[in-house]
Amino acid sequence: MNGQGGDAARRPPTAARPLVLDAGEAWQETVDDSGHVAATFERACYVRLGERLLAVGGPVPAGPLHLRVAGPDWAEMRAALRVGDTVDLQDGRLRVSGWALELSAAAAWRPPPVDAGRLREEGCLAHMLISHHDLAGRCGVRAEDIEAASKSLDRADLEEVAARLGGRGPGLTPAGDDYLAGALVADATLRPERERCREPVAAAVRTTAISRAFLEWAARGRSIDPLHRLLVGVAAACPERAGEAIVSLAAIGGTSGAALALGALTRVRAEVGLS
């Protein structure tokens, strides 16, 4: 075989205009640069533009790292993407493997606001949700590590949590990192003045490049949309809304969503004793 058939299969349709749904804050902050496709998966690919690692995907939740493309367009793109393919961002247009995505057409995603004062008062609801949804049993983190991390969060000691769980556990983003990310986002919501404490915690974790990118944004109080909707539901003292968000989270990865929820809710539960 001369390879021409394979090249043709990778070529985008002439009339293809991928519909870009929304862009997270990482994309909104990224300036013109070039790079390459760093990794590809069924639901998303990761691209490196300069020093930044960002995601382009279809069936993924909105989030700070995500540039979301409509499902049918994503399916065609996904079939063509290869690790190492050139990526170029110029004048609001992202070119990837022959496709041109118009970032200017994307809605700017930001998480919904959370009433931090009310969130601080809902430790009992957070505790109930952890138990009712069996998050400890579903998160991929060892029981003894969950217990130790919970005691650390009783003191809001994120550094201890990172030392205990950072880079550990199953998953593309290790389950221990997901738990830490959830705790970081909740801490940023409850205590935004602690930003200088959170950033070095995230930076010190030895983990994968993808997980590190998510942790860096978690330290800034940003994660995927269902986690923020969980915090909104808890702050509203609405177990139904919070439960719907947990169901959405639990569908993400084998353990990632459950670990995110557990870390966030454990940090909220701890706030009662810290106030």
Average pLDDT over the chain reads 91
Alpha carbons 162 and 197: distance in angstroms, whole number:
12
Alpha carbons 18 and 77: distance in angstroms, whole number:
9
Q: Does position 256 have pLDDT exceeding 90, yes or no? A: yes
In tens, the pLDDT along 73-122 reads 888 888 889 999 999 999 999 998 888 999 888 999 999 999 999 999 99
Query: What pTM was computed for the model?
Result: 0.91
> What would the mean pLDDT of 34-44 be, rounded to a whole number?
94
Alpha carbons 98 and 88: distance in angstroms, whole number:
10
Three-state secondary structure call for residue 166 = coil
In tens, the pLDDT along 192-209 reads 998 889 999 999 999 999
Q: At which residue do the structure tokens 């590590």 appear?
A: 145
Backbone angles phi, psi at 238, to 5 degrees: -120, 95
Q: What is the dihedral of CA 11, 14, 15, 19, to 10 degrees?
A: 30
| 38: region left, alpha or beta (phi > 0 left; psi from -120 to 50 alpha) | alpha
pLDDT reported for residue 10: 56
Q: Look up residue 109 and give its two tokens.
A: 């995603």
Three-state secondary structure call for residue 64 = coil
> Angle at CA 17, nearest 5°, toward 16 and 21?
135
Q: Does position 251 have pLDDT exceeding 80, yes or no? A: yes
pLDDT reported for residue 2: 40
What are the residue ranges spanned by the domains of the chain?
A: 4-108, 116-274
Alpha carbons 30 and 62: distance in angstroms, whole number:
17
Q: Does position 147 have pLDDT exceeding 80, yes or no? A: yes
Higher local confidence (pLDDT), 8 or 117:
117
